[in-house]
Chain A
Amino acid sequence: MSDIKALTGNEAIAYGVRLAKPKVIAAYPITPQTTIVETLANFVADGSLKAQFVESEGEHGAIFTVMSAALTGVRVFTGTSSQGFAYGYEAIAYIPGRRLPVVMAVANRPISSPGKAVECDHSDTMTGRDLGWLQLYVASNQEALDTIIQAYRIAEDQKVLLPIMVCIDGFYITHTTEMVQVPDQKSVDEFLPVYEPRHVVLDVCNPMSLSGGGTPEEDMGYEYIKNEALIQSADVIKQANTEFADKFGRKYGNGLVELYNCDDADVVLVTMGSMSGTGKIAVTEMRAEGKKVGLVRVRSFRPFPKEDIIALAKKVKVIAVVDRSISRGLGEGPCVTEVKSTLYNLEGEKAHVIGFTAGLHSVEVLVSDFKYMADKAFKVAQTGKITSEIEWIPNLEVTTKNPVPVQHEKLLIPGTTACPGCGMALVVRTVAEAMGKNTVLVENIGCGAWNAAQGMGSMTGLGMPSFPSMPLPSGSACATGISLGLKEKGQDTKVVLLGGDGSLGDIGFTALSGAAERNSDFVCVTEDNEAYANTGIQRSGATPQYAWTTTTPVGANKTGKSTPRKDMPLIMAAHRIPYVATASLAYPEDFKRKLEKAKQMHGFRYIHVYTPCPTSWRFPPEKLIEVSRLGVTTGIFTLYEIEDGKLKITVRPAKFKPVSDYLKVQGRFSHLTAEEIEAIQKDVDGAQAQMQGWEKSGLSLPVATG
């Protein structure tokens, strides 16, 4: 018996994952995958999913975590998208060799080159098509749920034992709500046998060690068997598809491809993902006009459905392949390339092949576009000649020019996309005003960069040269590069890096630490709003204990974030950089003085700004400054500076207010019990006593030896 629910594509995946009962889930939030992870976090919190849920510090870590968990013999799950896919690429490349049935959902989104590109296309998973993962592309919310369940069945099959990506179009499927049948647990348990690895496992009862590689021939041999297994998995995919249909009543073509109106077609369109649905409408309409057109939806891209393509090519006159990604320099997308390569040596009469590059970066592919494409294919069918092999849809007439420098009057141009009452906007404004025009601003992507410092569309919100939307891990490295380049050019321009607690403290910490250790010459300003706000309020390493976030929800089993937040300023001070300071929006003179000071210095300067966020912390926007002040007057956050290892407290409340004054204003703490509040109070009292002690005795940092 199944339950029919209105679910988004992401929720459907989470429901599918829950039914498969993985034991370890690790992920890092990235739009448009976030709600998969958040829904699973809620399932774990309410006890309906009994699994270990890891809020990883980045995709590189998250994917390695699930891989290693899989090595102990448990079922796992992870999900990512675009930039996260790129950041975790090393881990993704690593897994097939270990022959582990990791299931990963990928919300298809462009790997930006450059830019924030929070849109849909297939370029992310396409870059990983050679690594040895299976790749299935779904076209609906129902298929997303069903394919997750099938994915475990396929990946864990003894003939396969390879990781599998379930690819789901970002936004078009991830964020669209439809009615989805959710199978019952019993039926899924019957369909999915328990995972029992018989090959590699880390288990003291069956001890074995893993090697890092063999001789060149052995290593090449590993590639050989991977490749073979992946090719053979096509049968398993088909089998799973049939078995699933028998049990649950839903079938997806033959598992590898889905044919629509192809029987007597002269021309077929080949598509992948959500655009297939639109294509089907075009085909239906054209058939009504008597045109003999069909549509083939490629579901399995790896293994590539060679046999099905060959069979098709023998029947139809023209195959028109629509790619939602492009191989730059080759001038066409991977699907058309692989179709052509499959057919090249085929003897006898076979179809012509033309290609279309469409739908990059979420550009819509309309019914009329499909009709146009089919029409072009019909022309080829009639004339037997191909006039243009590849066409971009829509046709783009682009002129380029070099940018002309513009002197802006204002430092911060209002009309940004920040939420009303945004603390980061005030930070950006204060920093911009203090630093002045002779500054290059680098911003890690996040609310601070995306919203507070950027206008809508391709417009700027800043009056000095800026480099916004840096991928999260990179900001510090970029600031290093800019400062060195400017130095070589003999300019005394200041370089300032703005980033959030997530980008600098978690995923970008490696780069931050490296830049600090090298004493790179820039000012790093952390806008600490204690969460990943821009992607929808997920936890970061700076999220305080007990705080609610979407990945640390409150439920029967969980009471917000389970661990205390890490102390970034002190960690940075341990790098023995010339200047570390903390600041708060409620004390603008103190903040500005510290910025002025940092501006005059050289080397790596670090300012950590306590930046409440009305949206994430759940308080009305007008209370931004009030909450900022309470953070200091209750002793939660101390304003100080550390110069040459000496700590000096710069704002000293005459008397500390009770922490409950601070906690009760914020919805993210509304679930706290009296015991938890007392624990926080004790913590704060202890930290303050420590601070006072350090100031008196001097916070002396260890001298590096050896």
Chain B
Amino acid sequence: MKEVVFYARGGQGAVTVAAVLVAAFNIEGKYAQAFPFFGGERRGAPVKAFLRIDDKPVTTRGQIYKPDCIVVLDSKLPNSMNVFDGLKQGGIGIFNSGLSPSDIKLKVPLSKVGAVDANKIADTIFGSMAIPFTNFAMLGAFAATTGWVGLESIIEVSKSKFTGNAAKNNEKATRMAYELTTVASFTVPELEIVPIPGPLVARKVKLELLLGMAVNKESTAKTGSWRTRTPLFANMVPPCTDGCPAGIKIRDYLALVEEGKLAEAVQLLQEDNPIPAITGRVCYHPCEGACNRKNFDEPIAIHSIERFVGDHALASQKAAIETAAGENKIAIIGSGPAGLSAAYYLAKKSYPVTVLEALPLAGGMLRVGIPEYRLPRNILDSTIDDIKKLGVAIKTGVALGKDITIDGLFEQGYKAVFIATGAHKAQGLDIPGENAKGVIKGIEFLRDINLGKKVKVGKKTVVIGGGNVAIDAARSALRLGSKEVSIIYRRTREEMPARDEEISACEAEGIEIEYLTAPVKILEKDGKAVGIECMRMKLGKPDESGRKSPLPVSGSEFAIDADMVVPAIGQTPDLSFIGKDEVIKISTSGTLVVNAKNLSTGRTGVYAGGDVVNGPATVVDAIAAGKKAALTIDAALKGEQLPELAKGKVIEYADLNVDYFAEAPRHVEAEIPAGKRKSTFREVSAGLDEPAVMSEVKRCFHCGACNLCEVCSTMCPEGILSTRKETGWKPDLDQCKGCGICANECPRGALEMVLDR
């Protein structure tokens, strides 16, 4: 008689395997008996099943203590229990394992070892570690290793027990495993001599019992061995960070604000954005567009929180450094957001940095493109001052190509140059009358205002264009006293590149926007602009920008009055400093060409970023470019490689469990009423006060990160999850059964169940 013990987990059908073999042996004229361990079977708990085989009817019953063969159905079980218990020396071991049989650690010398990766076979057939297929694969392994029963007998039995796809797949699994099982034979050392039994002595059992069947011992079972998957932090990227071109760790600094740790919030925020007081006011906040909460009620007012933290940063005391400690001095051309950002990060790494600015005032587009009512001058000045306090020198009135050259900078001992000159050259309309008096390009108009020049405006101002420059020009003209201000734009509101808030603010201030209208000719009288001949447009197929292209509607010409025309249809970089023999390349759209990974221009030690590379883009893109330039330059000077950052998976709304959240309205910044603000350049938005900010940060879902909200520890059936502040999130892995409730319930989708393979 041969005795076999199967090792599996509760609820996985180990007995079915044994029962199939009973019938298979029967086909071949043998007798067999199969049964489970006679206790309750709990899902996932390690269990045994038994099989006896003989040439005559099997009459004995009861557990098998000294099997001739073991079959381990679950590949992980040998890690948590002794599957060799009682196995006879010289016996057979069959394992669900990816190892080769000679690599499997044996506790008893065996004559044969068979191994097959049944999990892989089940995966191949079903796409997951489907237990039934694993078991049916092991049936094939049993036949292949022991040779005690034929493959076809097993197939015949399983076909009679199952139907349809299940039967087909079971057969597939069995046959595949039969082919793939590798069997190794070993010579077994001299077996121990079994002593001849002496006079029969009664079996004795010693017990110490408590009267009344009392129980005092606490359960010591380590049910962690039941687990086939473990809860772990999924480390997914929140959509706000993913949507931010600078990759700001928004969720995490919001959490610090919620805890009242403002200084730490500033520090974390400035790891990726050195000028938060500015971006909190002017950024187009793609983070809010990506915020998962938008699918629940309204996205978090991240820009308001960033402004608050930024203003706090400006108001905080800082020590000033005269000059940086390091040796390698770096030159940065342009003091716009890209240049300032690069300067900040290089100074933080102790590089001596000099920023060279062509205009009389520093700030780039922040200074000359964005009006005061959006970005107060004191905020901009304080920001620049704080950067200077890091030891950065800013020299104004120095233009590249005129006052300095790249060659010249290297001769002066600079080790690297970062070109961040932006895109300030206004694009022309290319229509007749463009050069008449009263026609002033938008970007120049704004520059003049912001550099303090006295600027005259007409009675009736018409701005041409749809970007922020156009909107700002219109709103500035209004504030300077133009009685009637309007905008004409050749597409519709949907395609307008300006920030939605700007467009709304513009309309609230009484500025009309005429859509699907393009200028054909500027009407002059005595060399002065008196009006614009316009044409209606209709939308056609999308162009390279992805927006529907405007197509003229023939015969739709009409004229409008205007004594001031402000074309604001885009800017390009001024690349006149690039000489004929320069290595640095210029693209067809008139921007500098760089290696996207490290911002290198191709000329050693010269880098470029921001609008000069991208064409007119956003402040936050420039900030990101500045930081990247700083990292690149630092790496290059140290002879190191720029580290590659792996992109993580972004956490989506469906990954959250919003049943734990209640709706709450988003806080909106107060504004100067539209009627009142038309005549002043005072800042329009008031920001949020501290109570409002503290209330708004609480709305953050905290996507993908644990904030010890205790949902998981409340819902864990056996309370083995700790969510105490002192230890953080911590499951007791000795007891965790891997049920997955914690991961499923986590409101912020911070957890995932990782399969133990």
**Chain A contacts for B205, CB-based, 8 A:** 394-397
Report if B556 contacts A (CB, 8 A): no
Which one, B213-221, B269-277, B603-611, B639-647, is touching chain A?
B213-221
| Those 6 A-B pairs whose CB atoms lie nearest each other, nearest first | A455-B219, A622-B740, A277-B59, A403-B214, A421-B739, A420-B739
Min distance, Cβ B737 to any Cβ of chain A, angstroms? 4
**Chain B contacts for A534, CB-based, 8 A:** 40
Known: A396-B205, A415-B735, A615-B11. A625 touches B26 (CB 8 A): no
Min distance, Cβ A465 to any Cβ of chain B, angstroms? 10
Which one, B60-68, B110-118, B292-300, B669-677, is touching chain A?
B60-68
Min distance, Cβ B714 to any Cβ of chain A, angstroms? 5
Known: A176-B35, A429-B718, A622-B753. A413 touches B23 (CB 8 A): no
Task: Look across to chain A and name the residue whose beta carbon is closest to the beta carbon of B199.
Answer: A375
**Chain B contacts for A454, CB-based, 8 A:** 219
Q: Which of A368, A456, A620 contacts B203 (CB 8 A)?
A: A368
8 Å CB interface, B1-60 against A: 11, 15, 18-20, 22-23, 26, 31-36, 38-40, 42-45, 58-60
Residue contact B210 to A401, C-beta cutoff 8 Å: yes
Task: Look across to chain B and name the residue whose beta carbon is closest to the beta carbon of A469.
Answer: B213
A contact residues, total (Cβ < 8 Å): 92
Q: A412-B719, A425-B717, A622-B744 are in contact. List 20 more A-B contacts (CB 8 A).
A: A120-B38, A171-B35, A177-B18, A178-B58, A278-B60, A372-B201, A372-B203, A401-B209, A412-B718, A416-B221, A417-B221, A419-B42, A426-B717, A429-B719, A451-B42, A456-B219, A458-B213, A461-B219, A534-B40, A588-B714
Task: Look across to chain A and name the residue whose beta carbon is closest to the beta carbon of B207.
Answer: A398
**Chain B contacts for A620, CB-based, 8 A:** 740
Alpha-carbon distance A629/B40, docked complex (angstroms): 30
Residue contact A375 to B218, C-beta cutoff 8 Å: no
Residue contact A175 to B18, C-beta cutoff 8 Å: no
Residue contact B35 to A177, C-beta cutoff 8 Å: yes
**Chain B contacts for A275, CB-based, 8 A:** 61
Residue contact A177 to B38, C-beta cutoff 8 Å: no
Q: Which of B59, B201, B220, B226 contacts A455 (CB 8 A)?
A: B220
Report if A236 contacts B (CB, 8 A): no
**Chain B contacts for A408, CB-based, 8 A:** 218
Alpha-carbon distance A567/B209, docked complex (angstroms): 44
Report if A288 contacts B (CB, 8 A): no
Task: Look across to chain B and name the residue whose beta carbon is closest to the beta carbon of A629.
Answer: B659
14 A-B pairs whose Cβ atoms sit less than 8 Å apart in the complex: A31-B40, A176-B61, A277-B61, A367-B60, A372-B202, A400-B210, A412-B719, A416-B221, A417-B45, A420-B44, A421-B737, A454-B219, A455-B217, A622-B753
Contact with A along B557-599 (1 / 0, CB 8 A): 0000000000000000000000000000000000000000000
Task: Look across to chain B and name the residue whose beta carbon is closest to the beta carbon of A398.
Answer: B207
Report if B519 contacts A (CB, 8 A): no
8 Å CB interface, A595-650 against B: 614-615, 620-626, 629
Alpha-carbon distance A414/B224, docked complex (angstroms): 10
Report if B206 contacts A (CB, 8 A): yes
**Chain A contacts for B32, CB-based, 8 A:** 178-179
Residue contact A625 to B715, C-beta cutoff 8 Å: yes
Alpha-carbon distance A121/B284, docked complex (angstroms): 79
Alpha-carbon distance A362/B210, docked complex (angstroms): 21
Min distance, Cβ B578 to any Cβ of chain A, angstroms? 60
Report if A402 contacts B (CB, 8 A): yes
**Chain A contacts for B743, CB-based, 8 A:** 622
Q: Which of B18, B42, B203, B744 contacts A623 (CB 8 A)?
A: B744
**Chain A contacts for B659, CB-based, 8 A:** 586, 629
Known: A375-B200, A415-B219. A115 touches B741 (CB 8 A): no
**Chain A contacts for B192, CB-based, 8 A:** none
Residue contact B209 to A400, C-beta cutoff 8 Å: yes
Task: Look across to chain A and name the residue whose beta carbon is closest to the beta carbon of B157.
Answer: A6
Min distance, Cβ A129 to any Cβ of chain B, angstroms? 24
Alpha-carbon distance A458/B215, docked complex (angstroms): 6
Residue contact B221 to A455, C-beta cutoff 8 Å: yes
Alpha-carbon distance A190/B291, docked complex (angstroms): 78
Min distance, Cβ A370 to any Cβ of chain B, angstroms? 10
Residue contact B218 to A460, C-beta cutoff 8 Å: yes
Residue contact A429 to B717, C-beta cutoff 8 Å: yes
Report if B127 contacts A (CB, 8 A): no
**Chain B contacts for A323, CB-based, 8 A:** none
Report if B222 contacts A (CB, 8 A): yes
Known: A172-B62, A414-B735. A401 touches B211 (CB 8 A): yes
Residue contact B33 to A178, C-beta cutoff 8 Å: yes
Report if A114 contacts B (CB, 8 A): yes
Residue contact B22 to A178, C-beta cutoff 8 Å: yes
Alpha-carbon distance A456/B222, docked complex (angstroms): 10
Residue contact B42 to A415, C-beta cutoff 8 Å: no
Min distance, Cβ B135 to any Cβ of chain A, angstroms? 15
**Chain A contacts for B63, CB-based, 8 A:** 364
Residue contact A397 to B207, C-beta cutoff 8 Å: yes
Report if B223 contacts A (CB, 8 A): yes
Residue contact B209 to A6, C-beta cutoff 8 Å: no
Residue contact B211 to A460, C-beta cutoff 8 Å: no
Report if B638 contacts A (CB, 8 A): no
Report if B689 contacts A (CB, 8 A): no
Known: A177-B15, A177-B34. A450 touches B216 (CB 8 A): no
Q: Which of B43, B218, B220, B716 contacts A419 (CB 8 A)?
A: B43
Min distance, Cβ A430 to any Cβ of chain B, angstroms? 9
Alpha-carbon distance A6/B33, docked complex (angstroms): 9
**Chain B contacts for A173, CB-based, 8 A:** 61
Alpha-carbon distance A301/B44, docked complex (angstroms): 42
Report if B212 contacts A (CB, 8 A): yes
Report if B204 contacts A (CB, 8 A): yes
Report if B385 contacts A (CB, 8 A): no
Known: A396-B205, A415-B223. A450 touches B62 (CB 8 A): no
Q: Which of A178, A402, A405, A415 contacts B222 (CB 8 A)?
A: A415
**Chain B contacts for A588, CB-based, 8 A:** 714-715
**Chain A contacts for B200, CB-based, 8 A:** 368, 371-372, 375
Alpha-carbon distance A461/B717, docked complex (angstroms): 13
Report if A486 contacts B (CB, 8 A): no
Alpha-carbon distance A371/B205, docked complex (angstroms): 18
**Chain A contacts for B103, CB-based, 8 A:** none
Most buried by A among B31, B204, B718: B718
Alpha-carbon distance A403/B20, docked complex (angstroms): 47
**Chain A contacts for B201, CB-based, 8 A:** 372
Task: Look across to chain A and name the residue whose beta carbon is closest to the beta carbon of B663.
Answer: A654
Alpha-carbon distance A408/B206, docked complex (angstroms): 27
**Chain A contacts for B217, CB-based, 8 A:** 455, 458-460
Known: A396-B205, A458-B217, A629-B659. A281 touches B59 (CB 8 A): yes
Contact with A along B722-746 (1 / 0, CB 8 A): 0000000000100101111101110
Report if B720 contacts A (CB, 8 A): yes
Known: A179-B23, A396-B207, A421-B741. A171 touches B218 (CB 8 A): no
**Chain A contacts for B38, CB-based, 8 A:** 119-120, 171-172, 175, 362
Alpha-carbon distance A47/B18, docked complex (angstroms): 29
Alpha-carbon distance A450/B40, docked complex (angstroms): 10
8 Å CB interface, B209-252 against A: 209-223, 226-227
Report if A418 contacts B (CB, 8 A): yes
Report if B430 contacts A (CB, 8 A): no
Alpha-carbon distance A368/B58, docked complex (angstroms): 17
**Chain A contacts for B715, CB-based, 8 A:** 426, 585, 588, 624-625
Alpha-carbon distance A391/B35, docked complex (angstroms): 30
Min distance, Cβ B215 to any Cβ of chain A, angstroms? 5
Alpha-carbon distance A503/B218, docked complex (angstroms): 26
Task: Look across to chain B and name the residue whose beta carbon is closest to the beta carbon of A375.
Answer: B200
**Chain B contacts for A140, CB-based, 8 A:** 59
Report if A317 contacts B (CB, 8 A): no
**Chain A contacts for B227, CB-based, 8 A:** 420
Alpha-carbon distance A661/B411, docked complex (angstroms): 74
Alpha-carbon distance A646/B23, docked complex (angstroms): 62
Residue contact A4 to B26, C-beta cutoff 8 Å: yes
Min distance, Cβ B722 to any Cβ of chain A, angstroms? 12
